[in-house]
Structure 1
Amino acid sequence: MALMTSTLGRVNRRIVTLLAALIPILALGVVGSVVTVPFVALGPGPTFNTLGEVDGKQVVDVQGVPVKSTSGNLNMTTVSVRDRLNIFEAIGLWIDGQHGLVPRAEVYPPGQSRDDVDKSNQQQFKDSEDSAELAALNYLKLPTAVVLANVADDGPAKDVLRKGDELVTVDGKPIATTKDVVAAVSAAKPGTAVPVVLRRDGVEQTAEITLGARPDDSSKGYLGITPDEVNKGPLKVDFNLGDIGGPSAGLMFTLALIDKVTTGDLSNNKFVAGTGTIDPDGKVGPIGGIQYKMIAARDAGAVTFMVPAANCNEAAQRTPDGLRLVKVENLAGAVQSLEDLKAGKDVPSCG
C-alpha cells in the first residue's frame, strides 16, 4: 500500500511539473498568435507586363494612331504590404529573407486611416498614368496643350481667364508645356501688361493682363493661374490596371506606350522589368522598396531591370543573381539603353 502511494505521488509530481512547463508554452502560443506587432512586412508584389493584357484588356491601350505588334516584356513591379501581423507571422516573414519589417507608422501614418492611405496611393497611381502619357507625347513630339486647372480668386488673371481656358501664347511666346508658361511669365517684371492669346470654347481670343509679383520672388511676374498640360490628340491612351497604388509605374508605362507607337521591339523579345517615377519632361525619379521589386522581377523571369539612378547604390547591394541592372536618369536614356542592349552595346549600369 505504501509502495502504491509513493508511486502515485511521483506520477502526480510529474504531471504538475509537466503542466508547469506547458503553461508558459501555451501562453506564449496564445500571445504569439493573437497579439499584433506595430510593424508591417514589405516584400515582392505582383508584376505586370505593360505590353500585355489583364482581364482581357490591354494594360496600355492605345487608340487613334497606328499601333505596332509588340514582343517580349516590359514589366512594372510592385511591393506587397502585409499588415496586422501577429508575432509568429512577423518573425516568419523576417526570417524568410524576402521580406523586411518596418514600423507601421511609416506606411500608415498616425492620424490617417488605411482608407486615406489607399486613396492617396491610388491618386498617385493616376497621376503617374497622366505623367507617363505626357512624357511619351513629348518624347514622340506629338501635340499637347496647356489648359487652366485653376485661376486664383485674388490673382491678376481673375477677371480675364477662366478654368478650362487653353493658353496659346503669353507675351508673344508659344505655349505647349507648363514650363513655357512659367518661363514666359517669369521673364516679365511685375506691373507689365502682357498680351495673352487663349482659346475658350473653341474660339481664339486675345486679352491683356497686368502681372503681379510672384509670392516667392517679387522680381518676377505672376498671373495667379494653375496650368495643366494635356494630350491634344490624335493619340488616345487608357491604362487598365486597377487596385495598384503609388507613382512608380510611370517609367514602364511610358516605355510601353512608346514601344507600341514606334518599333514594337524595345525589349528585343526579352524579359525586361523596371520601376521609377516619371515627369512630363521625361525625368525618372526614385522609388521605395527597390530590393523587393527586383526579387519580384527575377522570380517572374526578368533578365534586365531598369533602375532609377537615385536607387542605384541600394539596388547594386541587393541584386538577385542573374538580373542585369540598367541605370536610368531620363526617358531618352532609357530608350537608348534598350536600343543599345538590342545592338549588343554597353549601357549605364549600377556599379
Structure 2
Amino acid sequence: MPDGDCMEHRGPRGSRCGERFDGDWRPGFAALDGHYIKRVLREGLSLSAQDVRVRAPFEVCGVRAAGVMLHFVLEGRVRASLGGEALELGRGAGEPVRMVMSAANDSMAFRRRGSAGDRVRGVNVEMSHAWLRANGLGALADGAKPSLRRTCGSVLPEDVRLLERLIRLMPEDTPLARLEVEALALRLICSTCAEFAGRAGCGAGMGRDDRRKLARMEQFIEAGQGDLPELSEIARIGNVSLSTMRRMFRAAHGCTVQQYVRGTRLARARVALERDGVTVAEAAHLAGYRSPANFATAFRRATGLAPSHLARSKARMPPV
C-alpha cells in the first residue's frame, strides 16, 4: 500500500523481481507472511487488501496512475511516498481508524519500504478519474494541481467492521465473494462521499483556537484509563459547552463524542490483545467495560472478531 500499475520489488540481499498488477499480487520474494491481494472490480475501480507481517526488509518502487485512492490502515504504519511526498499512512496504539485520500492528476512515482517485524493490515480503494466522473463523483478528482492532494477523514465504527470483512474476504476467489467485495467497496466510497459532504454542510473549517481545544479533548480521551469519562468532563478539558463539543467532534470525525470514545478504547483494547497478550478481562478494563461479556459483545460488533480469538492467536504466535 499504495498500489501501482507496474512495480519492482527489492528483497533481501538486493534480490529483485518485476510484476504487473493483473489481479492478485503476491510478492516474488519471501519478505512477507500473510496475504496482499489486489482485484480489478470494474474498469477504473480496483481494491487491494493486506494482512501481512514483514519477515525481511524490502522496498517497492513503481508508478501510480492518475486517479484517486482511499487508504485505510487498521493496524501498523506504512512508510510510503507518492511523488516524493510522504503519505503518512498508519494507526498507532489507541488511535481511531482514519481514511487518507490521495488524488493525483498525473502518473506519479511511489515508493514503499518495510522493516522486519512490521505488521500491517489495511485496505485501498483506487478509482480512475473517468470512473469517478461517469458515476457523478468528479468532485473527488478535482483540485489535484498538478500532482498530489491529500485529505484525511474519520472512519465510522460500521465502516471499520466493513474493512475487517474485506480483509477476511479477499483471499476467497469465488463468484459470491467477488460480488460481495465489490458491494463493500462501493459502500466505502459512498461513506467517504457522505463524510466530505457532511463536512461541507456543517462548516468544519475550524479556526486555530478550536483545533487546539479539539486536540486537548482528543488527547484526554486517548489517555484515559478505566471507566469512560463523562461528556461534561471532556467538554471541561476543551473549555467548550456540550453542544459546541458535539458539533466539533461531528465536524472533525463524522461521529458522536460517545462513538469516538468507544472507538478509541476498543482500538486500544485490540492492540493490547494482539500485541501485548492481555487477557479478555484486562482488555475489557482498558476499553472501559466492567463486564468482560459486555466488552466481548461490543468488540465483536465493532470488529467482527471475538476478543478471545485474538487472545488465543497471540498465545500461539511464535516470537518474531
Classify the TM-score, shorter chain: under 0.3
TM-score where L is the length of structure 2: 0.25
- Which structure dedicates a bigger proportion of its chain to helix? 2
TM-score where L is the length of structure 1: 0.23
- Larger-gyration structure (1/2): 1
Higher relative contact order, structure no. (Cα contacts within 8 Å, ≥ 6 residues apart): 1
